[in-house]
C-alpha cells in the first residue's frame, strides 16, 4: 500500500442547514455515520468520514449547517464548528439544493469563497426535479456566483452521480501517504455514534422545540457475552418537556428507544440492549459550561 501513489486529503462538506450534507457524507463513505433528519440543525458536531480505496484516501468532513441567525450559545457553537472546519482542508464542497439558490445559501457561499482552496458546487436533491432540463439554467446561474472548480449535480438520497462527485474531489487532493489507518472510517468512537443515534430519533420523531432542547449522553457502554449494553440520558431543558418526550404510558420514549436500538444493532453489528433516562438540566443549551460538559466543544 505504501508504494502505490495515493491521493489523500481533507474535504469539507459545507452549506446551509438541511441541504443534505450528512446524507451525502454517508453516501460518499458508503456507510451510515452521520445522523440525518428533515429538520434543520440536526448535525451539531464535526465528524470525519474516511473513504480509503487502493489509490486514494478521502477524508470527508461533515459540519453543522452555516446560518446567520446567531441567537443563543448553541447557534454560535454550530457556526463556530462549521466555520473552523472550512480551514486547513484541500478542497471544499458547497451544497445547494436543486430547487435553486436561496437567501440562506449566500452566507455559506461567502465563507467558502474566501478560503483560497478549490470549491466544488454539489447541486443536491436532483431526484426532486421533475425535469432534468431545469438544471441547465441553475448551473449557468451558479457559475456566475463564483469560480467553482466544478459543478456536479447529485442525489445523496438515491446515490445518483455521487461517483462523479468523488472523481471531481480526487483531482484536488495532493499525492501523499494516507492520513489515517486504512481500516479507519471515522474519527468518532462508538459511544459518540450511539448517542447520536438516540438524538436522531428525537429529531425525527418530535415537533417544534423538543429536538432543540435535547442533548444525549452515554452513561454505560459495555459488551457482555455478545450483547452491547447501552444506557443513555436524554437531557431536556425544562420540566415541561419531560412528559412530551416520555408520552402517554411511556409510549413515545419506547418508540425512540426501539428505533435507536435497531439503528445501533445495524451500526455495531451486534445485539443491543438500550436503556433510556430522561432528565432535566435547566437551560443546558445556553450555558457555556454545560454545553462543554455535554460534549459541545470547539473540537477542531
Ligand atoms: N429528495 C432528497 N432528499 C434529500 C437528499 N439528500 C438529503 N435529503 C433529505 O434532506 C433532509 C436533510 O438532510 P441532512 O443530510 O440531515 O441535511 P444536513 O445538511 O446534514 O442538515 P444539518 O445537519 O441540519 O445542517 C433529510 O430529510 C434528507 O433525507 C436528496 O438527495 N434528495
Ligand atoms: Mg447534517
pLDDT tens track for 46-95:
999 999 999 999 999 999 999 997 688 999 999 999 999 999 999 999 99
- How many angstroms separate the alpha carbon of residue 21 from the centre of ligand 2? 5
**pLDDT confidence bin for 3, thresholds 50/70/90:** low
Q: 9 forms bridges with which residues in the sheet?
A: 58
Average pLDDT over residues 114-120: 98
Mutate to test the pocket of ligand 1, among 23, 33, 45, 66 (most ligand atoms within 8 A of CB): 23
Residues flanking ligand 1, CB < 6 Å:
15, 17-23, 36-38, 40-43, 64-65, 124-125, 127-128, 155-157
> Which residue puts its alpha carbon closest to atom 8 of ligand 1?
20
* pLDDT over 70 percentage in the chain: 98
All residues at 6 or more sequence positions from 233 whose CB lies less than 8 Å from its CB, including other chains: 216, 217, 219, 276, 277, 278, 279
Distance, first Cα to last Cα, the chain: 29
**pLDDT confidence bin for 300, thresholds 50/70/90:** low
- Ligand 1 atom with the smallest distance to the CA of 39 is 24
- How many angstroms separate the alpha carbon of residue 90 from the centre of ligand 1? 24
Residue-level pLDDT at 57: 97
Instruction: Give the residue range(s) of CATH 3.40.50.300 domains in the chain.
Output: 7-170
> Which residue puts its alpha carbon closest to atom 24 of ligand 1?
41
C-alpha span between 58 and 78 (Å, rounded) = 24
- Ligand 1 atom with the smallest distance to the CA of 40 is 24
Residue-level pLDDT at 298: 67
- The mean pLDDT value of the chain amounts to 95
The helix (run of H) or strand (run of E) holding residue 187 is none
Residue-level pLDDT at 297: 81
Residue-level pLDDT at 286: 87
All three cell numbers of 135, joined, read 438544471
User: Taking the mean position of all CA atoms in its chain, how far away is CA 300?
Assistant: 15
Taking domain 190-293, whether its CATH number is 3.30.300.20 is answered by yes
> Which residue puts its alpha carbon closest to atom 9 of ligand 1?
20
Sheet holding 215-224, edge to edge: 215-224, 227-236, 271-280
CATH code of domain 7-170: 3.40.50.300
User: Could you count the other beta carbons within 10 Å of the beta carbon of residue 37?
Assistant: 19
C-alpha span between 21 and 184 (Å, rounded) = 21
Compute φ and ψ for 278, nearest 5 degrees: -115, 125
Q: How many CA atoms lie within 13 A of 21 on its CB side?
A: 33
* Positive/negative CA dihedral, 210, 252, 222, 191: negative
- How many angstroms separate the alpha carbon of residue 249 from the centre of ligand 1? 32
Residue-level pLDDT at 289: 87
Average pLDDT over residues 234-258: 97
All three cell numbers of 265, joined, read 444493532
**pLDDT confidence bin for 299, thresholds 50/70/90:** low
Contact 25, 34 (CB under 8 A): yes
Contact 95, 63 (CB under 8 A): no
Average pLDDT over residues 214-234: 97
Average pLDDT over residues 107-125: 98
Residue-level pLDDT at 261: 98
pLDDT tens digits for 171-189?
A: 999 999 999 999 999 999 9
Instruction: Give the residue range(s) of CATH 3.30.300.20 domains in the chain.
Output: 190-293
Amino acid at each position: 500500500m505504501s508504494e502505490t501513489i495515493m491521493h489523500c486529503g481533507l474535504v469539507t462538506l459545507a452549506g446551509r442547514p438541511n441541504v443534505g450534507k450528512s446524507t451525502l457524507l454517508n453516501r460518499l463513505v458508503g456507510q451510515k455515520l452521520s445522523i440525518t433528519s428533515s429538520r434543520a440543525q440536526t448535525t451539531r458536531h464535526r465528524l470525519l468520514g474516511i473513504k480509503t480505496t487502493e489509490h486514494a484516501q478521502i477524508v470527508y468532513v461533515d459540519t453543522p449547517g452555516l446560518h446567520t441567525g446567531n441567537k443563543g450559545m448553541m447557534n454560535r457553537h454550530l457556526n463556530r464548528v462549521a466555520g473552523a472546519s472550512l480551514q486547513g482542508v484541500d478542497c471544499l464542497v458547497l451544497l445547494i439544493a436543486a430547487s435553486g439558490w436561496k437567501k440562506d445559501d449566500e452566507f455559506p457561499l461567502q465563507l467558502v469563497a474566501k478560503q483560497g482552496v478549490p470549491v466544488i458546487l454539489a447541486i443536491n436533491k436532483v431526484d426532486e426535479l421533475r425535469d432534468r432540463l431545469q438544471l441547465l439554467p441553475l448551473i449557468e446561474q451558479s457559475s456566475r456566483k463564483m469560480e467553482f472548480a466544478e459543478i456536479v449535480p447529485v442525489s445523496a438520497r438515491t446515490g445518483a452521480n455521487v461517483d462523479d462527485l468523488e472523481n471531481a474531489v480526487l483531482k484536488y487532493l495532493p499525492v501523499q501517504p494516507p492520513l489515517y489507518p486504512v481500516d479507519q472510517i471515522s474519527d468518532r468512537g462508538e459511544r459518540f455514534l450511539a448517542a447520536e443515534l438516540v438524538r436522531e430519533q428525537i429529531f425525527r420523531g418530535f415537533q417544534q422545540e423538543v429536538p432543540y432542547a435535547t442533548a444525549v449522553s452515554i452513561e454505560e457502554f459495555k459488551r457482555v457475552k455478545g450483547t452491547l449494553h447501552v444506557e443513555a440520558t436524554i437531557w431536556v431543558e425544562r420540566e415541561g418537556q419531560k412528559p412530551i418526550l416520555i408520552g402517554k404510558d411511556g409510549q413515545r420514549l419506547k418508540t425512540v428507544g426501539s428505533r435507536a436500538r435497531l439503528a445501533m444493532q445495524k451500526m455495531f453489528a451486534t445485539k443491543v440492549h438500550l436503556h433510556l433516562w430522561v432528565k432535566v438540566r435547566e437551560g443546558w443549551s445556553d450555558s457555556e459550561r454545560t454545553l462543554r460538559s455535554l460534549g459541545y466543544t470547539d473540537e477542531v
